[in-house]
Chains A and B, each alone.
Chain A
Amino acid sequence: MAAELTCKELVELVTEYLDGALSLDELERFEEHLVYCAPCVTHVEQMRDTIRLVGAVREEDLDPVVADELLAAFRGWREDTA
């Protein structure tokens, strides 16, 4: 059995953990650490919150002029192929 993960090691593995990319052995050590370490549970929770927040950053809207141009191009294409 490999040595226990330290907190300092765990914080480097959070993205791998969330992506499901840890090996079975690493995953076991990661989850075992979380059982007894409340600060690391907090840290993982904060990484999840961070991801949700980044997801809430709004994308720049498509310029209406560009959207109109697209539609015009679409109509032109349809006429060509009709």
Chain B
Amino acid sequence: MGDEAAFVELVGRYGALMLQVARLYVPTRSVAEEVVQEAWLGVVKGIDRFEGRSSFKTWLLRILTNIAKTRGAREGRSVPFSALAQAELGAAEASVDPDSFIPRGERWASYWSSAPPRFDDLPEVRLMSAETVAVARDVIEALPEAQRTVITMRDMAGFAPEDVCEALDLSEGNQRVLLHRARSKVRRALEQHFEEADA
């Protein structure tokens, strides 16, 4: 890869994303920036060995997370990710408030007791407004760390489930439970946001 223009384009496309992922492993932004820099050099040096068996994005993530994990361990990350994930997975969590369903013992138990409030039918400009995106961002920031990490990688950065499992040493099932809990909380916050806005 001798082409500077190609390098600049790749950094432009993936730089911010890499920084975001690196931040998940190391304590400070400046260390994350060093990790990203080291990863890019790894990319430049290794591009001739990239055979296109995986997508470029997957390959990039592997290089990045290898460096970030090593660095995170050296910087003394207090709790390993697997322990955080286990702690969050330990307790049961309902995706929807259980009071939204008809109680046990009654006819139609566990079906909706009334139709859930709509927001999916809003005009696209309102649904996808900067204000709504800010609501989503705020909820994500406040999520327990393992859930925040998984939703960031899956839904913000757009990595495939298998890439996320590998990067975080998670089983496919646990990865999905964390993602589902995170998404469910964002959905609930959106529902509440639109209810309050329309009240």
Contact = CB atoms under 8 A, between A and B. Distances in A.
Interface in B64-80: none
Interface in A28-73: 37-40, 42-43, 45-63, 66-67, 69-71, 73
Contact of A16 (B37, B96, B155, B176): B176
A12 B95 contact: yes
Interface in B141-192: 151, 155-158, 161, 172, 176, 179-180, 183-184, 186-187, 190-191
A46 B120 CA distance: 5
B33 A63 contact: yes
B112 to A, nearest CB: 5
Interface string A2-22: 000011110110111001010
A64 B11 CA distance: 11
Contacts of B115: 38-39, 42
A60 B20 CA distance: 7
**Taking chain A's interface residues, is the majority helix, strand, or loop, or is none over half, making it mixed?**
helix
A42 B151 CA distance: 22
A70 B40 contact: yes
Given A45-B120, A70-B40, A19 B161 contact: yes
Contact of A42 (B16, B40, B116, B158): B116
A59 B180 contact: no
B40 A66 contact: no
B172 A49 contact: no
A8 B110 contact: yes
A53 B185 CA distance: 13
Given A59-B17, A73-B37, A9 B110 contact: yes
B175 to A, nearest CB: 10
A51 B16 contact: no
A15 B177 CA distance: 8
Contact of B140 (A12, A42, A46, A54): A54
B41 interface: yes
B116 A39 contact: yes
Contacts of A71: 4, 7-8, 11
Contacts of B128: 52-53, 56
Given A12-B95, A62-B19, A70 B136 contact: no
The 5 closest A-B pairs by CB, nearest first: A6-B110, A62-B15, A15-B180, A8-B110, A54-B155
